[in-house]
Structure 1
Amino acid sequence: MENGQLLSETTLETTAGSSSKALNLLIDIKYLLKGKVLVANVLPVFTAYWLALYFSGERFVDNWGLFLITIIGSTLVISGALILNNWYEVDLDKKMVRTQKRPTVTGNFSLNTVLWSGIITSIIGLVMMLFTTLEAAVYSFLGWFVYVVLYTFWTKRKFTLNTIVGSVSGAFTPLIGWAAIAPANHTVPIVMFCILFIWQVPHTLAIAIKRLEDYTRAGVPMLPVVYGVDVTIRQNLIYIIALMLFPFFLIASLGWFFFIFAISLTIGWIILAMKGSRAKDVKKWAQSNLRYSLIYLILLSFVMIILTSPIMN
């Protein structure tokens, strides 16, 4: 009886240990892939793919195979870029509180493993995208190249314009999704590109203000580090105001409801951004600005999808 009980307890401990290791591995992968960043980049791919089906008169059920290849392929390309970013920036991440849990910092993953994981993941993703359309594959490569080479390897450590360069990379995502179905020389994907480009700047500036000490300690020339928080708050407001322009170009495609919704959403963000110069706790304001930016992207994408869904047409 005692031997059976001991055996049972040992089995439970072994199972618990295995579950714990698996959970820790998943957590490490999440930090390596910058979970929220990955989702924020894949969402526009899906949204644009869905919209391209609608405007091309195609049905989702007839293109589900292409959908899987597009989503999996683009996710792998984006993941590969993020992994390579973590590999290259390990020296910076060691100096920043918000990146202390990344496996490249903790040593849970060796740098050599991370490097090859990034390379292989990128290659597999790009090859998969070639099975969609050449145009979608080209946009995937351009987004990867801008993020890894122009942003990570070149501008991030040297120029405050690194935020602009990084924003160009993320803006390619709707072009990828759309081009998998049809050529992206259409008003909707082009406007989505512009929105994603502008949106990423205040989103990133909010992070830079919130984590000012981190970036200062690491020596990364983010705008608030080089020119101060007040200048950054003004720049933040200017970019958000610029978002007011783009819904006008989508009236003919998505209708007046979308226009009113998008304008209202942007006005709400502008009101929040204007409070930055008077904020007693600028870090708390930056967190609110960051949260609103994510809500903006999610709601805008959600409304685009709903308005072009079969139940609405």
Structure 2
Amino acid sequence: MSKYGTPSPQMVQKSVLSEQQNSSSIITDLKALFKAKVLILNVLPVFCGYWLALYFNHTSIGAHWDLFWLTMIGSTLVMAGALVLNNWYDVDIDTVMERTKERPTVTGNFSLKFVLWLGISLSVLGFIFLLFTTIEATIYAFIGWFTYVVLYTMWSKRKYTLNTVIGSISGAVTPLIGWTVIASGLHIIPIVLALIIFIWQMPHTFAIAMKKYDDYKAANVAMLPVVHGFDVTKRQILVYVTCLLPFPIFLESLGFGFIIIATLLNIGWIVLSVRGFFTKDDMKWAHMVFLYSVNYLMVLFLLMIIVTLPVFN
């Protein structure tokens, strides 16, 4: 403090730094609460489904800007609400697991009551937005929300290794949400996209479960590697990855170039999966499978958008 009672430059600087740190901490907590990376990875298929519906129904995004924003905002809010509710319900096991100990529900930065009402509010608001699109899209969004929050988080996650299969339904509906805002979901394209995501989630989640084996075991979560071991998990990964191989053929309307690239992506993943039977470092291999799975989905769906851009048609 100066002799005239005004804050010194050093005190002002400390105050500013403190405010910046608090702001940064809040942003970090919100990103953890919303599982930002998971949210983004789920929003992409919604957009892709919407975009492809426009393409195959010979219309443009400019003709449906209102539906576009309602779809993207509504679906994002619904998924964010589901992820927040997952954090609220899982606070007990998140306290045990190393990778989740910094979540705001565990640290107490956000009260559980606040998190619960935030999850409910976001979900309800998201459904309200989607109701202004189509009933079919809203139904798919509800199926995804109910599957993730109730059937996966509250029922199967801690009891059955089939929790991964059940949870995969919530991700599989995302392209159907986007597509059915524009047209009926009874079309080969959105159905194939849903099946791809459904199958993709198994090896993706199994790889995570292997990486975080100790965490899941400590929390007594019934993930496949914890219950049946790594060898069974590796076989399951290979089976599901191989199941992805024929799907590019069903998307032949996206062009020969897409089929070639998608097939190469599938072959690359199969090769990586087979290497798991010969690796001496299971954790390193599981991390590679995880990274490949994330990039696989992003590249595949971005490629679908790129090949249907007006400049390529």
TM above 0.5: yes
Task: Supply the distance in 1 between the matched residues of 2:26 and 2:33 (Cα, whole angstroms).
Answer: 10
5 Å-filtered alignment, 1:188-203, equals 188-203=189-204
Find the counterpart in structure 1 of residue 90 from structure 2: 89
Task: Supply the distance in 1 between the matched residues of 2:99 and 2:89 (Cα, whole angstroms).
Answer: 17
Find the counterpart in structure 2 of residue 134 from structure 1: 135
5 Å-filtered alignment, 1:267-278, equals 267-278=267-278
Task: Supply the distance in 2 between the matched residues of 1:24 and 1:66 (Cα, whole angstroms).
Answer: 35
Find the counterpart in structure 1 of residue 254 from structure 2: 254
Task: Supply the distance in 1 between the matched residues of 2:119 and 2:128 (Cα, whole angstroms).
Answer: 14
Q: Deviations over 1:169-195 (max 9, x none)?
A: 110000001111111111110000000
Find the counterpart in structure 2 of residue 308 from structure 1: 308
5 Å-filtered alignment, 1:209-224, equals 209-224=210-225
> Structure 1 regions of 5+ residues with no counterpart?
none
Task: Supply the distance in 2 between the matched residues of 1:152 and 1:274 (Cα, whole angstroms).
Answer: 31
Secondary structure in 1 matching 2:74: helix
Find the counterpart in structure 2 of residue 161 from structure 1: 162
Quote the offset at 1:20 in angstroms.
Answer: 1.4
Quote the offset at 1:245 in angstroms.
Answer: 1.8
Task: Supply the distance in 2 between the matched residues of 1:65 and 1:102 (Cα, whole angstroms).
Answer: 35
Q: Deviations over 1:62-120 (max 9, x none)?
A: 22222111111101000000011111111111111111111011111111111111001
Task: Supply the distance in 1 between the matched residues of 2:244 and 2:230 (Cα, whole angstroms).
Answer: 22
Q: Percent identity?
A: 54
Find the counterpart in structure 2 of residue 118 from structure 1: 119
5 Å-filtered alignment, 1:1-313, equals 2=2, 6-251=7-252, 253-313=253-313
Aligned length: 312
Task: Supply the distance in 2 between the matched residues of 1:22 and 1:149 (Cα, whole angstroms).
Answer: 33
> Structure 2 regions of 5+ residues with no counterpart?
none
Task: Supply the distance in 1 between the matched residues of 2:61 and 2:218 (Cα, whole angstroms).
Answer: 49
Q: Deviations over 1:188-213 (max 9, x none)?
A: 10000000000000000000000001
Q: Deviations over 1:35-82 (max 9, x none)?
A: 111111111001111111111111112222221111111010000000
Quote the offset at 1:3 in angstroms.
Answer: 5.6
Task: Supply the distance in 2 between the matched residues of 1:44 and 1:266 (Cα, whole angstroms).
Answer: 18
Task: Supply the distance in 2 between the matched residues of 1:131 and 1:83 (Cα, whole angstroms).
Answer: 24
Task: Supply the distance in 2 between the matched residues of 1:43 and 1:242 (Cα, whole angstroms).
Answer: 22
Shifted more, 140-149 versus 11-20: the winner is 11-20
Secondary structure in 2 matching 1:101: coil
